[in-house]
Amino acid sequence: MIDQQRRMPRLRWRAIVAGVALAAAISLVSAAALPPIPAAVASFFGIFVSGILAGILASAARLYHGAVVGVGYVLCEAVGLVPGAIVGPDALSDTVAVIATDALRIALAALGGWSAGLWSSLGRGRGR
């Protein structure tokens, strides 16, 4: 029987705050400068890029830091600091759309954090 407990990785708050700030800035600028659909696409791209930034700054547990950036962005969206894009015709479809887009945001940020490990190791012979 394996009874080995693993500790949660230490959070690098500087990396998380930088990632959330970048995602929020991209979202706010794209919402102000672009029509709704391109602004939403730019927002998702910004989430991915902010996950990469957090992963690079964290240098360990990159996927985890990217996911926490996604959660931080979703919290900013929940309190109204960044625009929310989905408004459905009824409460059920709106709720489903919000949950789906928030899950996608967290997944994209985590993917960005994970890919930061690949990207940062390209010049060092460790990328595989």
DSSP string, 34-84: S-HHHHHHHHHHHHHHHHHHHHHHH-SSHHHHHHHHHHHHHHHHHHTSS--
Distances (CA, A) of 73 to 19, 77, 102, 104: 9, 6, 9, 12
Angle formed by the axes of helices 91-120 and 62-79, to 10°?
150
User: In one letter, which amino acid is 53?
Assistant: L
Predicted model pTM: 0.84
Inform me whether the pLDDT recorded for 33 exceeds 60: yes
Tokens of 14: 């500087």
The gap between the terminal CA atoms of the chain, to the nearest Å, is 32
What pLDDT score was predicted for residue 97? 87
Helix (H) or strand (E) holding 89: none
User: Is 80 exceeded by the pLDDT of residue 61?
Assistant: yes
Which tens digits make up the pLDDT trace of 3-26? 677 788 889 999 999 999 999 999
Q: Which of 29-38, 47-56, 69-78 has the lowest mean pLDDT?
A: 29-38
